[in-house]
């Protein structure tokens, strides 16, 4: 228990207002988080390649190189419902010094165990009476393995459509969580209202995770390594680093992310072009961040064009992909109607939530430009279609800058090179939806 108390008492907080967080400073902070412990076996929980700009790949590599000579190190990416990482993706994200054999895939359907329950009465209270089901708290079995002396959860704090602000205990209960928690937390967020939560702490979904953290995993030898990043062209900047177990460190990261990753606009946008890096976005399940992160910025009757050269499917999970193809992004009311009528959606509540999130409810049009899905496939799920070549010719991402651009024909557009790193909103709408 002594080592576990040391874990809980460790706190490291750094941000770029005091100067650039160099790799040397980062290394020293990571070293301080593990030195003085008698570590024989460590489990690292980074995100996957879909968090390419989180700095988590580099941090994972640093930890691995730092620890591999003195103890056994396992790496289990917090996949949630995402596909397991391929060898090529691991090389891209972690670098060549992390062996693929050290990577353990998480299966959200089979690798989990139930450790507690968030009561229905509490869920009803925090959702303002909208939801009254209990939620089973499920995590990957490895998190309960007593042979691990230390578990290090690594990830980026950034505005998020399901929980409000990503990471901290979400990495455990969703990234390394099971079917029940993933399904019910996503549906809770969808019913409560995504636009009421994005960019904010203390949302109903976050309160579910806080309840589970406080009541069911206190004895796990866990620390969080939280980052806040920005992107300048191809350069990822580490703006903040927070290491420890206390919630206040997450709150510090939230405050910094709200300064760095929230982009407020004075007036609604008429036309938005979002580019999806093909290394990061291979499905609309991920690519619809272009919808989530811009919906509070786009004008009624506006237009969103998503250029996704790597988008080749709808769901990361095959079962969810089938459900998206079956029901489509047809709006909140239609999906709630389908949810009540069909057992397959009731059994896959995260899919129902995603279908609600991915529609504009007819407020603005959504067009996907991709060469790996057919026009029929795209239009059948409720989006408009544009050939990829046409989109790239008209809206060449290499010639556009983030923000407002005027095209040669005089048209004004707003360009976003990566929707995963921010939240774009009209300030009045953002404040009103709180």
pLDDT exceeds cutoff 80 at 4: no
Does 276 lie in the same domain as 244? no
Please report where in the chains the tokens 């089901």 appear, as a residue: 133
Rg, Å, the chain Cα set: 21
Does 242 lie in the same domain as 314? no
Does 151 lie in the same domain as 12? yes
The two structure tokens encoding residue 361: 């409810």
Predicted local confidence at residue 113, as pLDDT: 96
pLDDT exceeds cutoff 80 at 290: yes
pLDDT digits 0-9 by tens, 162-208: 999 999 999 999 999 999 999 999 999 999 999 999 999 999 999 99
Confidence of residue 1 (pLDDT cuts 50, 70, 90): very low
The two structure tokens encoding residue 105: 């895939």
The two structure tokens encoding residue 330: 């047809």
In terms of phi and psi (left: phi > 0; alpha: psi -120 to 50; beta: otherwise), the region of 273 is beta
Does 251 lie in the same domain as 270? no
Mean pLDDT (whole number) for 89-114: 94
Does 300 lie in the same domain as 244? no
Does 351 lie in the same domain as 211? no
Does 288 lie in the same domain as 272? yes
Mutual orientation of helices 23-34 and 56-67 as an angle, nearest 10°?
50
| Domain total of the chain | 2
Does 192 lie in the same domain as 71? yes
User: What is the Cα–Cα distance from 17 to 239, expressed in whole angstroms?
Assistant: 8
pLDDT exceeds cutoff 60 at 343: yes
Range of the domain at 165: 2-260
Does 244 lie in the same domain as 144? yes
Q: Is the pTM of this model over 0.85?
A: yes
The two structure tokens encoding residue 276: 């999806």
Indicate the residue among 260, 281, 314 that finishes a domain.
260
Does 109 lie in the same domain as 227? yes
User: What is the Cα–Cα distance from 70 to 67, expressed in whole angstroms?
Assistant: 6
Does 120 lie in the same domain as 63? yes
User: What is the Cα–Cα distance from 334 to 336, expressed in whole angstroms?
Assistant: 5
Please report where in the chains the tokens 């750094």 appear, as a residue: 14
Best CA proximity match to 357, nearest among 174, 191, 126, 165: 191
pLDDT digits 0-9 by tens, 372-384: 999 999 999 999 9
User: What is the Cα–Cα distance from 85 to 50, expressed in whole angstroms?
Assistant: 10
- Write out the chain in H/E/C secondary structure: CHHHHHHHHCEEEEEHHHCCCCHHHHHHHHHHHHCCCCCCEEEEECCCHHHCCCCHHHHHHHHHHHHCCCCEEEECCCCCCCCCCCHHHHHHHHCCCCCHHHECCCCCCCCEEEEEEECHHHHHHHCCCCCCCCEEEEEEHHHHCCCCCEEEEEEECCEECCCEECCCCHHHHHHCECHHHHHHHHHHHHHHCHHHHCCCCCCHHHHHHHHHHHHHCCCCCEEEEEEEEEEECCEEEEEEEEEECCHHHHHHHHHHHHHHCEEEECCCEEEEEEECCCCCCCEHHHHCHHHHCCCCCEEEEEEEEEECCCCCECCCCHHHHHHHHHHCCCCHHHHHHHHHHCHHHHCCHHHHHHHHHCCCCCCCEEEEECCCCCHHHHHHCCCEEECHHHHHHHCCCCCCCCEEEECCCCCEEEEECCHHHCEEEEHHHHHHCC
Indicate the residue among 194, 229, 260 that finishes a domain.
260
The residues facing 425 across adjacent strands are 264
Are the C-beta atoms of 320 and 328 separated by less than 8 Å?
A: no
Cα atoms found within 13 Å of the Cα of residue 344, Cβ hemisphere only: 9
Indicate the residue among 202, 232, 260 that finishes a domain.
260
Lowest mean pLDDT among 284-293, 330-339, 424-433: 424-433
Are the C-beta atoms of 352 and 267 separated by less than 8 Å?
A: no
CATH number, position 289: 3.90.226.30
CATH number, position 99: 3.40.50.11440
Predicted local confidence at residue 120, as pLDDT: 98
Does 223 lie in the same domain as 299? no
Mean pLDDT (whole number) for 311-322: 93
């Amino acid at each position: 228990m002594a080592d576990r108390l040391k874990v809980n008492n460790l706190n490291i907080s750094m941000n770029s207002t005091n100067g650039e967080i160099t790799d040397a400073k980062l290394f020293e902070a990571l070293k301080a988080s593990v030195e003085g412990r008698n570590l024989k076996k460590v489990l690292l929980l980074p995100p996957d390649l879909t968090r390419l700009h989180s700095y988590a790949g580099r941090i994972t590599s640093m930890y691995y190189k730092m620890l591999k000579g003195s103890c056994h190190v396992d790496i289990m990416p917090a996949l949630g419902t995402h596909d397991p990482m391929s060898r090529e993706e691991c090389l891209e994200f972690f670098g060549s010094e992390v062996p693929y054999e050290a990577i353990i895939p998480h299966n959200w359907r089979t690798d989990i165990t139930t450790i507690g329950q968030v009561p229905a009465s509490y869920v009803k209270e925090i959702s303002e009476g909208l939801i009254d089901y209990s939620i089973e708290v499920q995590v990957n079995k490895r998190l309960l393995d007593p042979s691990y002396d230390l578990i290090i959860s690594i990830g980026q704090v950034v505005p998020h459509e399901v929980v409000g602000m990503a990471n901290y205990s979400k990495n455990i209960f969703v990234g390394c969580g099971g079917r029940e928690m993933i399904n019910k937390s996503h549906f809770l967020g969808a019913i409560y209202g995504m636009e009421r939560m994005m960019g904010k702490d203390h949302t109903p979904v976050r309160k579910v995770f806080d309840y589970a953290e406080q009541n069911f995993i206190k004895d796990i030898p866990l620390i969080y390594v939280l980052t806040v990043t920005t992107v300048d062209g191809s350069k990822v900047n580490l703006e903040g680093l927070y290491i420890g177990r206390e919630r206040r460190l997450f709150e510090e990261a939230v405050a910094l992310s709200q300064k760095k990753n929230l982009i407020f606009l004075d007036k609604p946008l008429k036309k938005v072009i979002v580019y999806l890096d093909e290394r990061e976005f291979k499905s609309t399940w991920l690519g619809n961040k272009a919808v989530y992160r811009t919906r509070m910025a786009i004008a009624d009757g506006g237009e969103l064009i998503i250029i996704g050269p790597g988008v080749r499917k709808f769901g990361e999970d095959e079962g969810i992909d089938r459900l998206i193809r079956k029901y489509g992004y047809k709006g909140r009311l239609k999906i709630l109607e389908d949810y009540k009528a069909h057992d397959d959606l009731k059994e896959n509540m995260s899919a129902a939530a995603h279908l609600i999130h991915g529609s504009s409810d007819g407020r603005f049009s959504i067009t996907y430009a991709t060469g790996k899905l057919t026009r029929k496939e795209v239009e059948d799920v409720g989006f408009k279609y544009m050939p990829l070549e046409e989109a790239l010719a008209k809206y060449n991402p290499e010639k556009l800058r983030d923000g407002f651009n005027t095209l040669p024909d005089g048209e004004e557009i707003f360009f976003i090179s990566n929707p995963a790193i921010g939240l774009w909103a009209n300030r009045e709408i953002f404040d009103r939806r709180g």
